[in-house]
Amino acid sequence: MDSRNKIYFISDLHLGLYPPEKSTEREKIVVRWLDSIKHETAELYLLGDIFDFWHEYRKVVPRGFTRFLGKLAEISDAGTQIHYFTGNHDVWVYDYLPSEIGLKIYREHIIRVIDGYKFFIGHGDGVGNGDIGYKILKAVFTNRILQWLFARIHPNASIAFGHRWSRSSRYAKGIIAEPYRGDDKEWQVAFACETIKTKPVDFFIFGHRHLPFDITIGNNTRVINTGDWITNFTYAVWHDNTLELHSIFPENEKKILFRNIKKAVSK
């Protein structure tokens, strides 16, 4: 009997985030966790910003991450299906990881039925009507012409640019995610509330926000953010028709936000 009967969701590992020694330490933690679940995992969803910066050329990819990529390859080779959703930090993942590891790349959110339940899955960036500045920046990063021009830069220069960007990020400076902004100002929650008015969904699963939360809206629809692996080390797991949000460190589970906002979907 196949014991791989669980589905895991993680996001925002930001491997490669400055400083490098802390990134390596976190990579080892991730790898140990993956090793602990590999025999029970049917599918693994990587919901974006797995790398703090990633840009691959046709014949060149960033150095590093060997422990993590090796573990993914091992899990994939054993029969676990791995789904990779590009985020805003790893938007330039192309065909290297699919060809080397066998994972499947997604660049948009998807709706998928699992065990009869409808899941809306993705990184969670750019949903809803807010965050206009970020949406403009993402349009620049995903522009085919600009991508082609950036690829003309020598890898030593382009990847050094990415590392400088990483070093200047708020997370590299030790700034953690903002607290819950409010029912109407959390774009992922507001987007879910609007979506279920016309399209039934049982679970929305996002990353991007770095704030682990489990919000109930409407008629028991849940909006889950998987948090991050910088401060929270949180993940979601689907098993026996139950979706749960956990941290690998028990003390961090106290940080998970649970909230019921059924009134937010009133018509």
In 3D space, the residue among 123, 124, 48, 130 whose CA is nearest the CA of residue 92 turns out to be: 48
Q: Rounded to 5 degrees, what angle do the CA atoms 106, 231, 217 make?
A: 60
User: According to the model, what pLDDT value does residue 1 have?
Assistant: 46
Q: Which two tokens stand for residue 113?
A: 């039925």
pTM higher than 0.75 for the full model? yes
CA distance 26 to 171: 14
Query: Per-residue pLDDT tens for 49-107?
Result: 999 988 888 887 888 899 999 999 999 999 999 999 998 888 888 899 999 999 999 99
Provide the strand spans (E) within the chain.
6-10, 41-46, 81-85, 104-106, 110-114, 117-121, 203-206, 213-217, 221-225, 234-239, 242-247, 257-260
Residue 149 pLDDT level (bands cut at 50, 70, 90): low
pLDDT at 146 over 90: no
Mean pLDDT, residues 110-123 taken together: 97
State percent of the chain over pLDDT 90.
64
Query: End-to-end distance of the chain based on CA atoms, in angstroms?
Result: 48
For the chain, list the domains and their CATH numbers. Answer: 6-265 (3.60.21.10)
User: According to the model, what pLDDT value does residue 136 have?
Assistant: 66
CA distance 114 to 100: 27
CA distance 5 to 2: 7
Beta pairing class for 221-225 and 213-217? antiparallel
